Amino acid sequence: MAESIDYGFKPVTSGGAFLSLKTKGDTIKIRLVSTPVHYQREWQGQLKERFAWLVLNRNADNPDEAVKIFSAGVSIYLTIKGYAENEDWGDPINYDFTITRTEESTANFYRVVPSPNKTKLTAGELALIKESKIDLLKVVEGKGTKTFGEPKVVDEPPVPEEEI
C-alpha cells in the first residue's frame, strides 16, 4: 500500500522584507505589485544582474507578511517579460505567478507559471500595499550595488473591472 503524502508543507520565506525560495521544491504564489527595479550586485568579485519587485505573497498566513520584495535573476525576469509582451497575457500586475525552485539545471533553476485567472486587486490588498513601509529602491541599494530606474507601485486597480 502506498504511503499517504502530506501536501501541507509551506516553504520558510524568511522573516525580513525579502521573499525567497531556500530549497529545491519550494513554491510561492505571488502577485507583482510594482514595476521591477533593475540592479547589479557584486557577488564573488563580479557584478550580477538582478531584478526586484514589490509583491503580494499569496502564501502569507497573516497580513503583516503579505507585502514582500521578490528578487530574481535574469532568467526569471526574462520569463516575466515574455508574458508581459505577449498579447494573451499582458501586464503581469494583472495576474499571479507560481514560482518553484526546481534546480533542474543552471539555466532552469526556477519554473515560472502564470495563473490564467486574471483578477483585479481587492481594496484590502491595495490597502496592504499602501500601508507597506518597504522602499524597494532603498532596500536594494547598498555596497556593490548599482540601480537603474525607480519602481512604480500599484496604487489603484490595474485593469478596469469590465476587462477581467
- Answer whether residue 99 is part of any domain: yes
Q: Which domain holds residue 111?
A: 18-136
- Answer whether residue 2 is part of any domain: no
Q: Which residues contact 60 (CB under 8 A, 6 or more apart)?
A: 66, 68
Give the domain CATH number at 40. Answer: 2.40.50
pLDDT in tens, 1-55: 445 444 454 444 445 788 878 888 889 999 999 988 888 887 788 888 889 999 9
pTM of this prediction exceeds 0.85: no
Mean of the per-residue pLDDT values for the chain?
Answer: 81
Q: How far is CA 103 from CA 62, 100, 128, in A?
A: 29, 9, 32
Q: What burial class does residue 18 get, using C-beta atoms within 10 Å of its C-beta: 0-12 exposed, 13-18 middle, 19+ buried?
A: middle
161: pLDDT strictly greater than 60 = no
Rounded Cα distance, 150 and 140, in Å: 11
Which stretch of 23-27, 69-73, 93-97, 150-154 has the lowest confidence by average pLDDT? 150-154
Domain count, the chain: 1
Rounded Cα distance, 24 and 143, in Å: 29
Buried b (16+ CB within 10 A) or exposed e, 48-78: eebbbbbbbbebbeeeeebbbbbbbeeebbe
- Answer whether residue 66 is part of any domain: yes
- Answer whether residue 39 is part of any domain: yes
- Answer whether residue 7 is part of any domain: no
156: pLDDT strictly greater than 80 = no
Rounded Cα distance, 117 and 43, in Å: 37
Rounded Cα distance, 76 and 38, in Å: 12
Specify whether the CB–CB gap between 108 and 93 falls below 8 A.
Answer: no
For position 11, what pLDDT does the model report? 43
Rounded Cα distance, 22 and 14, in Å: 9
